[in-house]
Chains A and B, each alone.
Chain A
Amino acid sequence: MQKRLPIHCAMYTASVFHHSLIFIFIMHFTDLIKQPWPWYVAGPLIGLTVPLLLILGNKTFGISSSLRHICAACFPAGISFFQYNWKKEVWNLFFAAGIAAGGYIAARFLNNHQPVAINTHLVSILQHYGVHNYSGLVPTELFNWQSLLTVRGFILMIAGGFLVGFGTRYAGGCTSGHAIMGLSNLQWPSLVATCCFMAGGFIMANLILPFIMRL
């Protein structure tokens, strides 16, 4: 018995050690996923959405179409562009609803409540426009109900949203449909569209937005 004791002891220690390792691993893992995910983790996982939707049911990845299906379902108004059987594309609305649910889950359960760590140069520029709060992904000082009807809030939220809806449909897709799905399928019109998205963004962010921010 006395001879076996050290072995028991060792086994017990090993088992405790083993359990605490798992515990440490789980703690570390939950800590890790609550932090912002680096691009080399999130990017490839976003890319995998393309084969996921194709294999789940032959669906081409894209979200802006959901806005059109909402129009076709709610206010087609006799416009030929909205005269189609939107129920055949209802998967896209389920997908969009899922994105909102995913946003809730991530913000509620996978949040470390740290401010977005952005380039310090941008922080000093935004400071001049009265942006100091980096706690949310959406800057609450710019996007809120009170400023909705100020000139700046109207341009950022309402005019901006209008351009997103109008532009994506005119271009035939958005960042997911053209930049990710279209380029994955090596479609050169999607490359043209993606370059134009970026060009539009560069013009707005660097040349026009500074004036809007001063309003």
Chain B
Amino acid sequence: MSTTEITEKEHRQFLQEDTDFEVRSLDTACINESELSHPWWYNIKYCIAGGWFGILLVKSEVISWFRIQEMFRLQSFHMYGVIGSAIVVGIISVWIIKKFKLKTIHGEPIVLLSKQFNKGQVYGGLLFGFGWALTGACPGPLFAQIGTGASVIIITLLSAVLGTWVYGYLRDKLPH
């Protein structure tokens, strides 16, 4: 329980030496590494956080195919309002976390890693944009749509898993 002694510098050092983390963090904006090990049921808190996020996705209608079409046709401010205000709150939160060097509930320093630019963000971004307008969903909404009872979206999700797999298969041949 004496985890509070791990400093941010030591943690960054740990990340650089960890080869598994190096593979995991490839092409991934959302990844982190903890030096703590917890029993599996500690993950239930993320299930609850996900549940809360899922309710938000449904009640804000951002998982609606109709809302996505409106957004890309500039026919409504709704989606821009949701995403824009989420980003503003996110920026303020991250600023507060950095400014006051806040720690996790387990006493670990919160470390945010920077992202390197590569061409994948352009090519992949465009391809994902096509998919977003077709399905009306990003990966999060796919899970939420299935939850609302749209069972056929399971196929869309499996197809997205296949897409990720094919990317992994072709990764070395693609421009980055």
Interface size on A, residues (CB 8 A): 135
Q: Which residues of B contact A174 (CB under 8 A)?
A: 128, 138-140
A211 located at the interface, meaning its Cβ lies under 8 Å from any Cβ of chain B in the complex: no
What residue in chain A is nearest B93 (Cβ atoms)? A51
User: Quick check: B129 and A138 within 8 Å, CB to CB?
Assistant: no
Complex: chain B residue closest to A156, CB-CB = B134
Given known pairs A98-B47, A160-B135, the reply for A172 and B121 (CB within 8 Å) is: yes
User: Please, what's the 1-or-0 string for B21-44, where 1 marks a CB less than 8 Å from any CB in chain A?
Assistant: 001101111111110000010111
Question: Given the complex, which residues of A lie within 8 Å of B97, measured CB to CB?
Answer: 51, 54-55
Residues of A within 8 A of B (CB): 33, 36-68, 70-71, 75, 77, 79-85, 88-92, 94-107, 110, 116, 118-119, 121-122, 126, 134, 136-139, 142-145, 148, 155-190, 192-206, 208-209, 212
Complex Cα spacing A175 to B94, Å: 17
Report the Cα distance A174→B103, complex, angstroms: 26
Task: Contact check, A164 vs B135: say whether CB atoms are below 8 A apart.
Answer: yes
Closest chain B residue to A143 by CB distance?
A: B152
- Distance in Å: Cβ of A87 to nearest Cβ of chain B: 9
Q: Which residues of A contact B57 (CB under 8 A)?
A: 46, 99, 102-103, 106
**Residues on A with beta carbons closer than 8 Å to the beta carbon of B150:** 136-138, 143
* Additional A-B contacts beyond A172-B27, A182-B115 (11; CB < 8 A): A40-B81, A54-B110, A60-B112, A94-B43, A99-B50, A121-B75, A164-B138, A164-B156, A165-B167, A192-B117, A206-B72
Q: Is the interface of B mostly helix, strand, loop or mixed?
A: helix
Partner of B82, one of A43, A53, A88, A126: A43
Known contacts A47-B90, A65-B28, A200-B128; A56/B148 CB under 8 A:
no
Interchain CB contact under 8 A, B127 and A167: yes
Q: Could you tell me the distance in whole angstroms from the C-beta of B24 to the nearest C-beta in chain A?
A: 4
Chain A residues with CB under 8 Å of B125's CB are 167, 171, 178, 192-197, 199-200
CB-nearest residue of chain B relative to A142? Answer: B65
**Contact between chains at B128 and A168 (CB < 8 Å):** yes
- Assess A67 versus B24: contact at CB under 8 Å? Given A100-B147, A196-B122: no
Residues of B within 8 A of A206 (CB): 72-73
8 A Cβ contacts from B117-176 to A: 117-118, 120-140, 142-153, 155-169, 171, 174
In the complex the two chains form, is A39's CB within 8 Å of B50's CB? no
**Secondary structure class of chain A's binding surface, majority of residues:** helix
Complex Cα spacing A50 to B90, Å: 6
User: Given the complex, which residues of A lie within 8 Å of B112, measured CB to CB?
Assistant: 54, 60, 185
Instruction: Identify which of B59, B76, B113, B124 contacts A166 (C-beta below 8 A).
Output: B124
Q: How close is B48's CB to chain A, nearest CB, in angstroms?
A: 6
Q: How far is the CA of A143 from the CA of B169 in the complex (A)?
A: 29
Interface members, chain B 59-107 (any A CB < 8 Å): 59-73, 75-79, 81-91, 93-94, 96-97, 102, 104-106
- The docked-state distance in angstroms from the alpha carbon of A180 to that of B93 is 12
Q: Please state if B105 and A57 are interface contacts (CB–CB under 8 Å).
A: yes
Closest residue to A48 on the B side, CB-wise? B89
24 contacts between A and B (CB under 8 A): A37-B60, A42-B60, A46-B60, A53-B46, A81-B26, A81-B171, A91-B46, A101-B47, A102-B52, A103-B54, A103-B55, A116-B67, A118-B69, A157-B159, A158-B156, A158-B159, A160-B159, A161-B159, A162-B162, A164-B160, A184-B93, A189-B121, A190-B121, A205-B68
